[in-house]
Amino acid sequence: MSILAWTYIIVILSFALYIGIAIYSRVRTTAGFYIAGRGVPAIVNGMATGADWMSAASFISMAGLISFMGYTGAVYLLGWTGGYVLLALLLAPYLRKFGKFTVPDFIGDRYYSDTARMVAVFCAIFVSFTYVAGQMRGVGVVFSRFLEIDVNSGVIIGMVLVLVYATLGGMKGITYTQAAQYVVLIIAYLIPAIAISWKITGNPIPQLGFGSRIAAGENAGVYLLEAIDAIHRDLGFPEYTAAFVEGKKSMLDVFAITMALMVGTAGLPHVIVRFYTVPSVRAARISAFWALLFIGLLYTTAPAVATFARVNMIQTLHGEAYDSAPEWFSNWEKTGLIRFEDKNQDGIITYSGDKDTNELIVDRDIMVLANPEIAKLPAWVVALVAAGGLAAALSTAAGLLLVISSAISHDLFKRVLKPDMGEKQELLLARLAAAVAVMVAGYFGIHPPGFVAQVVAFAFGLAASSFFPVIILGVFSKRTTKEGAIAGMLSGILFTAAYIIYFKFINRAAGPECWFLGISPEGIGTVGMLINFFVTCVVSRFTKAPPAEVQQIVENIRLPHAARD
């Protein structure tokens, strides 16, 4: 069968599974809608967290970025993985013990202020919409190639699917759907990685094949990374394994991006809320272990996938006549995500690090999805990767939309504007808010502000500059006040958002020479976080200490004797 036929079969079956789970898990209470009734087993929550965590950025775009950036692309691996460890150790157990539904709920109660809650609601919605833009972009990329429909139609199909299982099942339905999506995406990621590793190096373990010798061809016996470095030198690119050289990011920028991704992870509301769904603090810790294990399977494979894709792409295109380009190139060219510009009119594809002579324009988001086709794997493997990409994008999109929904219905209306609202009214409002959020997310998917992983990096920076400092201080400092938290969140997120908007939308031509200390918009969240910490601590120092009962709550959530609650 053709790739198209296989894709329809696998995607339709996986979509039917997701919707079936949502119908079976549909909820009728707010506790079920927001936190799955706190009855999710630790291993299931670990799988769901893995899927929620490994978005389209992880599945589709991360390896693509590493493929083009080489060594410095490791910032995404280090930042996201390290951030999850930070979240699991410093935040998740304590927030679970606090026992609220959402991050704004924690901030509102810990900082004894509806104003703090409102600021947190604003930050949660802003961060989540920025993040979901990347997911919808990923959905559009997959649909545009594998189902041979335009990107906009693909985004709309994704919107409808997410709306169905997010509004029917709430967090309960999303959790079990995400567990199924994890199985789909990890199988889809590992099968082609194993096959290509075996094909290139003779080693079926991608993590080892990545550092092995090439098995056949003109570079037989040469280590894979040495071969790709030589290819890069010949074509005028910086060496793949080189760090902090001309043409690559500076050490300070790499550090800033890594830190922003790390602390942004620990401040992402859709990941934090996952730890509210388990029965106890102990279960939260265990599910954190499972999630890290499940995440590690993909993250340790990504550098190998990136390198395999890079080598195969260059070897199949550079120096080839455009009229006889491989089929995979023609397939992806139709999407507009890769194109040939014949600058010297010789009909030969030239791929070069020199902008003046380079004739191949490649969207980084296609590298993982095109990888099986480039390697000439069977059609069903190509279709499986498409289903995996959709699973990754849709699982995270659903989690983000639930955060937006709960921020509006629970934190804004139930806790502030209309506290006498009944449970049925709140549940209806949550579903309506999810529907509106899906439509807004679809707009961002059709008009994305950058590559999937790049857009997601902005979301992490915004989370780092807004939530992380006030959550950490809220757990570990009894002296932090509501005035400090409000001032810190606003100063951090406004600075970070203004920097990103200016350099990504207003003055897009500006380069590192114009950035603050050479820090890119992807890494500026680190500076925003430091501003937040500074402002929060200074303002707290000069304002009245929190009430005694709030200080006692802070003390209680860290007491070890209650860890079994």
Confidence (pLDDT) at 191: 93
Q: Where are the alpha helices (DSSP H) in 278-378?
A: 281-299, 302-317, 327-333, 367-374
Confidence grade of residue 196 (pLDDT, cut at 50, 70, 90): very high
Radius of gyration of the chain (CA): 24
Q: Which of 441, 54, 65 is CA-nearest to residue 270?
A: 54
Residue 101 structure tokens: 């539904």
Tens-place pLDDT, residues 85-110:
787 777 777 877 776 667 788 888 88
- Judged against a pLDDT cut of 60, whether residue 403 lies above it is answered with yes
Detail the DSSP E strand segments found in 338-423. 338-340, 360-362
pTM: predicted TM-score of the whole model, two decimal places? 0.80
CA gap 49, 268 in Å, rounded? 12
In one-letter notation, the amino acid at residue 501 is I
In the block, residue with structure tokens 């993985």:
81
Q: Is 132 helix (H, G, I), strand (E, B) or coil?
A: helix
Confidence (pLDDT) at 28: 65
In this structure, the number of other CB atoms found within 10 A of the CB of residue 458 comes to 27
Helices (H) and strands (E) in the chain, counts: 24, 2
Q: Which of 172, 165, 166, 162 is CA-nearest to residue 31?
A: 172
Contact yes or no for 385/369 (Cβ under 8 A): yes
Tens-place pLDDT, residues 434-482:
788 888 877 777 776 555 555 666 777 888 888 889 988 988 898 999 9
Residue 256 structure tokens: 């800033």
Mean pLDDT of 488-516: 86
26 φ, ψ to 5°?
-60, 145
Confidence (pLDDT) at 563: 44
CA gap 358, 213 in Å, rounded? 29
Percent of all residues in the chain with a pLDDT value above 70, rounded to a whole number: 92
Mean pLDDT of 183-205: 91
Confidence (pLDDT) at 125: 80
- Judged against a pLDDT cut of 90, whether residue 537 lies above it is answered with yes
Confidence (pLDDT) at 562: 44
> What is the chain's mean pLDDT, rounded?
82
**What's the farthest any 2 CA atoms get from each other in the chain?**
78
Going by DSSP bridges, is the β-strand pair 338-340/360-362 parallel, antiparallel, or unpaired? Answer: antiparallel
450: left (phi over 0), alpha (psi -120 to 50) or beta: left
Mean pLDDT of 280-289: 79
Residue 522 gets which letter from DSSP?
T
In this structure, the number of other CB atoms found within 10 A of the CB of residue 21 comes to 23
Q: How far is CA 399 from the centre of its chain?
A: 11
- Judged against a pLDDT cut of 90, whether residue 160 lies above it is answered with no
Q: How many CA atoms lie within 13 A of 315 on its CB side?
A: 17
Long-range contacts of 176-179 (CB under 8 A, 24+ apart): 176/21, 176/25, 176/44, 176/48, 177/18, 177/21, 177/22, 177/25, 177/395, 177/398, 178/47, 178/48, 178/49, 178/51, 178/52, 178/395, 178/398, 178/399, 179/44, 179/47, 179/48, 179/51
- Judged against a pLDDT cut of 60, whether residue 20 lies above it is answered with yes
Residue 471 structure tokens: 């959550």
Q: How far apart are the first and last CA of the chain?
A: 54
Confidence (pLDDT) at 486: 93
291 φ, ψ to 5°?
-60, -45
Confidence (pLDDT) at 565: 46
- Judged against a pLDDT cut of 80, whether residue 331 lies above it is answered with yes
Q: Which of 176, 171, 178, 180 is CA-nearest to residue 403?
A: 171
Contact yes or no for 52/176 (Cβ under 8 A): no
Q: Is 362 helix (H, G, I), strand (E, B) or coil?
A: strand
Mean pLDDT of 542-555: 89
Q: Which of 124, 154, 198 is CA-nearest to residue 56?
A: 154
Q: Which of 133-147, 187-201, 328-342, 516-530 has the lowest mean pLDDT?
A: 133-147
Confidence (pLDDT) at 100: 65
